[in-house]
Structure formats: structure tokens, C-alpha cells
Structure 1
Amino acid sequence: MKKKFELNRFLADNAVVLIFVVITAAATPISGLSIISIVQEILTRIGRNCFLVFSLILPIMAGMGINFGMTLGAMAGQIGLIFAVDWNIIGVPGLIFASLIGVPIAAVLGWIAGQILNRARGREMVTGYILGFFMDGVYQFIVLYLMGSVIPVHSLAITLSRGYGIRNTLTLDSIRQSLDRLIPLKIGGISIPLANYLVIGVLCLFIIWFRKTKLGQDMRAVGQDQQVAHSAGIPVDRTRIIAIVISTVLASIGQIIFLQNMGNMATYNAHKQTGFFAAAAILVGGASVSKATIPNVFIGTVLLHLMYIVVPRAGTNLFGSAMIGEFFRDAFSYAVIALALVLHAWRKRANAEAARSGLRGGAGDAAETAAVQGENS
């Protein structure tokens, strides 16, 4: 019975991961893609997407769930890139310049978001999602109307024909893959964006170090029980705000890394699905809305993007239409978030019921002991 219970627990805890392993394992041979092309694409996507996914870890650790408000950081990063292109700053200096503009904006937006989420305890995820929609309107107003009219923009190549507003698609030729090609490395015909991996490695070390600091321990305490943390003298509201600020700043840098790899930017749409894809990746890796680790990020990024690579091609080969593969891909992506949230709610309810049963059992044992002692006396 014990082995069966452990197996059931393992299947429940890793259901999302196992589902994606089965899907990708079935679709890979059908796709007809070579191993080298798949590995090359996976390595590129890990370097491009992992930084964004890592930005979700600290809010989860602080008990705020998945920070869908990371979209605010993505908008800040895009504003930084617009100015980098406008000023024609080339290569890695352009990325640094974009970060110097985007990070302060992201910090301010993260502070505002943290203040709002503190007033929406227990509903942080849906509040962050709606906040992203609201700030999207503000972002589009700034980029579409203020840039070029109120905010100076020097390059006519990036403005609309009316003289103000930024074009729908912005080419990032001046900084295109400048980080990817900073330290070239090729092994067996596979190009590895080594600089991207070094940046991600530094971020991993930062997260490991941060968890050991007093602030990191405070975040973990707040994530476990806010009332106990408050009783212990931890400033709960301030700690939660700091978690959101750091997450938003990391999302800003992550969006810059993502877009420099893509080489172009959909000015008004590039940020909209940022939170969704990052959330899907970390949940596919086995994380939940209450616990996330560094391995969850890497496992989820590999599995999710492996599905994105092989499923459309498998759909083309099976049904003669790539669109069917795209439909499957989108369906599984949305389903994984729903499944992860359902499993988390089920697990939380089961743990609460087990705790109540334990308390009832303890009370029953105490009553029985008292009755026996009374009979003996």
C-alpha cells in the first residue's frame, strides 16, 4: 500500500511534466526533424527565453503566485529598445543602454504593481493579469501618441508618416543577436549562444545567493504564512513589493535579451504574451503557484519549446496542414496552466483535509486516553 501511495503522489506531483514528455516523445519522430536541428533550436530558445521565466521565481517564493504583471517589465524593456534604436547605439552597448532606460521604468512600475497587489491579497494572479491589460493601454498611448510629439524621437525611420508615433514593426538591426554572438562557440555544427548562458548562470547564482539572505528568508517566511511572518516582525507588505519589483526588473532585462535574439519587435504586441509563455514554461517544468525552483525553469523551457518545435511539423506530416499542429500547440499551452492551477487547488484542499483529520484524530486519542484513565481511577 505504501508503494502505491508513493506512486500516486509522484504521478499527481509530476502530471504536467509527464504529459508533456509523452506529447513530445510521440511527436518528435513524426515531425521528421533531425536531432541536430532540434538541439540547435532548443539551445537557442533556452538562451532566449530562460531569463524571462526566471523572473517568476521570487513572487512565487513570496506567496504571490505567478506574476502575470511581468508584462509591465516587458513594456519597460521595449521602451528602452526604442530609444537604443533611435539613438543608433550598436551592439552590446545598445543592450546596456536599453537596460539603463528600461530598468528604472520597470522598478517604478513594479513598485506600483506591488502596492496594488498588496490590496488584492489572495487574488494576485488575476489582478496582475488585468493590470497588464490596463498598462498596455498606457504603453500604447505613450508609444503611439507621445513619442515624437511630446517625447523627442530623432530618427524618422522609426516614426509613422504623420511625424509622431512609433512604427508597428521595429527592426533591431543595430543590436540584432549582439549578445548571442558576443562569445561565439560552435560544437559539432551546433552554435551555442555562450554569452546568453553566462548571463543566465549569473542570474542563477544571484537567486541562490538571494535565497540565503535575510530578505530572501523573509520572502520564504511570507510565502509560507503571512500572519506568522508578521508576528515575527517581518514587514510583509514591503517584502511582497520588493519581490514584485525585482521580478519586473528581471522581466525588463529578459525582454531585451529575447528581442535582440529575434532581431525585430512588434511595437504594440511583442509584450502581450510574455507572461503567458513564461508561466506556461515554469508550470510545465513541475512548478506550482506556491513553489518554484531553478530546475523547474530549465525543464519547463526545454519541454515547452520542444513541443513548439515538433508539434507543428508533426501536424503537417500527419494531416497535411501546419495549422492543425498550431492548434494543438496553443491548446496544450493553455491547458497546462489550467491543469497546474487545478492540481494546486486539489493538492491544497487535500493537505488541508489531511491536517483536519490529524487534528480530529489527535483529539479522539486524547479523549480515549482520558476515559481509560478515569476508568482506572
Structure 2
Amino acid sequence: MSTNKNLSKFFSEYAVVIIFVVLTLASIVPSGLSIPYIVQEVITRLGRNSFLVIALLLPIYAGMGLNFAMTLGAMAGQIGLIFAVDWGVAGWQGLVFALLVGLPISVLLGWITGSVMNKAKGREMVTGYILAFFINGIYQFFVLYVMGSLIPMRNPAIVLSRGYGIRNTLNLESVRQSLDTLFMLRIGPFAIPVLTFIVIFLLCLFIVWFKRTKLGQDMRAVGQDMAVASAAGIDVEKTRIIAIIISTVLACGGQIIFLQNMGNLATYNAHDQTGFFAVAALLVGGASVTHANIPNVFIGVILLHAMFIVSPLAGQKLFGSAMIGEYFRQFIGYGVIALSLVLYAWKSRRAVEDQRSQLRQGTTVGGAK
């Protein structure tokens, strides 16, 4: 009986991870891709996406759930890259310039997000999701009308023919892979962007260190119980705002790393799926709405993107259409988020029922005595 209970608990805890491992392994052979190719693609995507996923951790520690509003930080990073291209700042200096431009914007947007979420306690995820749509409208207005009209642009090649607004696709050749290729290590058939992984490693060290600071401990206390944290003298609302600001700033840097690897910027929609795929990756790694750690980030990125690599070709080989694989990719992404939220709700309800059962048993024993 105990063994069955342990197995049930294991499968409920790691259901998403198990499903993805099985699906990925089953798709490798039909895809026809070689193992070295898949490994190289996973290494590339690990460097490209991990920073963005790590940006989700602090709001979870603070009890604010999955920060879908990290998209706001991605928008700030894109604005920084637009100005870097416009000013002709190339190489890694261009990335630093983009970060310096995006930093104050992301801090402001993070403060706005945290303040709004403090008015919607318990509904932070849906609030962040809707807020991202609202700020997206302001971003579209800014890059479509303000840039080139109120804000003069020095590079006419990135401006629409009417004289204002940024072109739909921006070539980031001046900063393309400037971080990745600065220190590239080749081991056999594999190219490893060492400096990119060093930056990610330093961010992981920062997260580990930050959790041990007083502010980090305050965030954990707020995440466990806001009422108790407030009674202990912690400024709950300020702590939550700081968590969102840091997450938004990290998302800004993560989007810059992502786009420099891609080498181009879809000006008006590059940020649309940023939060969605980062959240999906974290959940695939075994995280939940209330619990996440650094290993969840890397497990999730590896599994999710391994599936993204093999699914289109597997769909083409099995069904005669690569689009089947693309549809499957979207279905899996949304399905992971839905399944994780359903499992979280089920676990929460089961935990409440277990507590009630224990209280009833305690009352019955007390009455018998």
C-alpha cells in the first residue's frame, strides 16, 4: 500500500517531466536527426533561453506565481537593441549599450507591474498576462509612431519609408552572436558558447546568494504566508514589487541574449511568446506555481527544446506534413501550462482535504478519550 502511495505521489509530482521524456525519446527515431545534431541544437538553445527562464524564479519565491508579465522586460530589451542598431554600436559593446538603455525602462515597468499585482493579490498570473497585453499596445505605439517622429532616428535603413516607425524586421548583424562567439569552445563536432554559459552560471550564483540575504528570506516568508510575514515586520507589498522588478530586469537581459543569438528582431511580435515559452520550459522541468529551483530551469529547457527540435521532422515523416509537427509544438506548449495548473489545483485541493481528515480524526480521538 505504501509503495503504491509513493508511486502515485512520484507520478503526480513529475507527470509533466515523464510525459516529455517519453514523447521526446519516441520522436527521435521518426525525425531521422542524428544524435550529434540534436545535442548541438540543445546546447545552442540552452544558452539562448536559460537566462529568460531563470528570470521567473524570484516571483515564485515571493508567492506571486508564474510571472507572465516578464514580457514587459523583453520589450525593454528590444527597445535597447533598436537604439543600439540606430546608433551603430556593434559587438558586445552594443549588447551592453542595449542593456543600459533597457535597464531603466524595465525597472519602471517592473514597478508598475508589482504595484498592479499588489492590488490583485491571489490573481497575479492572470493580472500579469493581461497587463502584458496592455503594455504591448503602448510598445506598438512607441515603435510604430514615436520612433522617427518625436524621437529622431539616425539610421534611415531601420525606419519605414514614410519617415517614422521601425521596420517589421530588424537586422541585428552588428551584434549577432557577439556574446556567443566571444569565447567559443569546440569539442569534436560541438561548439559551446562558453561566455554565454558563464553569464548564466553567474546569474545562478546570484540567485543562490540572493536567497540567503535578508531580502531573499523576506521573499520566502512572504511567499509562504503574507499575514505572518506582515506580523513579523516585513513590508509585504514592497518585497513583492522588488521581486517583480528584478524579474523584469532579468527578462530584459535575457531577451537581449536571446535576440543576439537569433541575429534578427521581429520588431512588433518578437516578445509575444517570450513569457509563454519560458513558463512552459520551467513547468516541463518539474516546477509548479509555488515551487521552482535552478535544476528545474535546465531540465525544462533541455526537454522542451529537444521536443521542439525533433517534432517538426517527426510529424513530416509520420504524417507527410511538417506543419503537423509545428501544430504539435504549439499544442504541447499550451498543454503543458494547462496540465501543470490543473495538477497544482488538484494537489492543493487534496492537501486541504487531507488536513480536514486529520483534524476530524484528531477530534474523534479527543472525543473518545
Report 1:1-377 matches (<5 A): 1-369=1-369
The alpha carbon displacement at 1:332 in A equals: 1.1
The alpha carbon displacement at 1:368 in A equals: 1.4
Structure 2 distance, partners of 1:37, 1:44, is: 11
SS at match of 1:265: strand
The alpha carbon displacement at 1:280 in A equals: 0.3
Counterpart in 2 of 1:374?
none
The alpha carbon displacement at 1:190 in A equals: 0.7
Structure 1 distance, partners of 2:323, 2:356, is: 49
Deviates more, 1:349-358 or 1:273-282: 349-358
Q: Normalising by structure 2, what TM-score?
A: 0.99
- Deviations along 1:249-308, whole A, 9 cap, x unmatched? 000000000000000000000001100000000000000010000000000000000000
SS at match of 1:177: coil
Amino acid at match of 1:269: N
Structure 2 distance, partners of 1:169, 1:199, is: 27
- Deviations along 1:60-89, whole A, 9 cap, x unmatched? 111100000000000000000000000111
Structure 2 distance, partners of 1:239, 1:199, is: 26
Structure 2 distance, partners of 1:233, 1:357, is: 34
SS at match of 1:191: strand
- Deviations along 1:299-334, whole A, 9 cap, x unmatched? 000000000000111011111110011111111111
The alpha carbon displacement at 1:152 in A equals: 2.0
The alpha carbon displacement at 1:245 in A equals: 0.2
Amino acid at match of 1:60: I
SS at match of 1:288: coil
SS at match of 2:170: strand
Structure 1 distance, partners of 2:21, 2:144, is: 43
The alpha carbon displacement at 1:173 in A equals: 0.6
Structure 1 distance, partners of 2:251, 2:50, is: 10
Structure 2 distance, partners of 1:152, 1:214, is: 44
Structure 1 distance, partners of 2:239, 2:217, is: 10
SS at match of 1:120: coil
SS at match of 1:6: helix
Structure 1 distance, partners of 2:98, 2:305, is: 27
Amino acid at match of 2:349: R
Amino acid at match of 2:104: P
The alpha carbon displacement at 1:365 in A equals: 1.5
Structure 2 distance, partners of 1:366, 1:209, is: 46
The alpha carbon displacement at 1:360 in A equals: 1.6
Amino acid at match of 1:352: V
Counterpart in 2 of 1:373?
none
SS at match of 2:47: helix
Structure 1 distance, partners of 2:325, 2:273, is: 19
Runs of 4+ in 1 over 2 A off after TM superposition: none
- Deviations along 1:31-68, whole A, 9 cap, x unmatched? 11011100100000000000000000000111100000
- Deviations along 1:84-106, whole A, 9 cap, x unmatched? 00011110000000000101100
Query: Identity over the aligned pairs, expressed in percent?
Result: 65
Structure 2 distance, partners of 1:367, 1:213, is: 47
Amino acid at match of 2:294: I
The alpha carbon displacement at 1:113 in A equals: 0.4
Q: Normalising by structure 1, what TM-score?
A: 0.97
The alpha carbon displacement at 1:343 in A equals: 0.2
Structure 1 distance, partners of 2:181, 2:58, is: 30
Structure 2 distance, partners of 1:287, 1:266, is: 30
The alpha carbon displacement at 1:122 in A equals: 0.9
SS at match of 2:182: coil
Amino acid at match of 1:136: N
The alpha carbon displacement at 1:130 in A equals: 0.4
SS at match of 1:11: helix
User: Which structure has the larger Rg?
Assistant: 1
Structure 1 distance, partners of 2:368, 2:217, is: 41
Tell me how large the CA RMSD over aligned residues is: 0.6
The alpha carbon displacement at 1:19 in A equals: 0.4
SS at match of 1:157: helix
For these two proteins, the number of residue pairs brought into alignment is 369
The alpha carbon displacement at 1:367 in A equals: 1.6
Deviates more, 1:229-238 or 1:42-51: 229-238
The alpha carbon displacement at 1:358 in A equals: 1.3
Structure 1 distance, partners of 2:89, 2:101, is: 13
Structure 2 distance, partners of 1:290, 1:8, is: 20
SS at match of 1:170: strand
Structure 2: stretches of 5+ with no match in the other structure: none
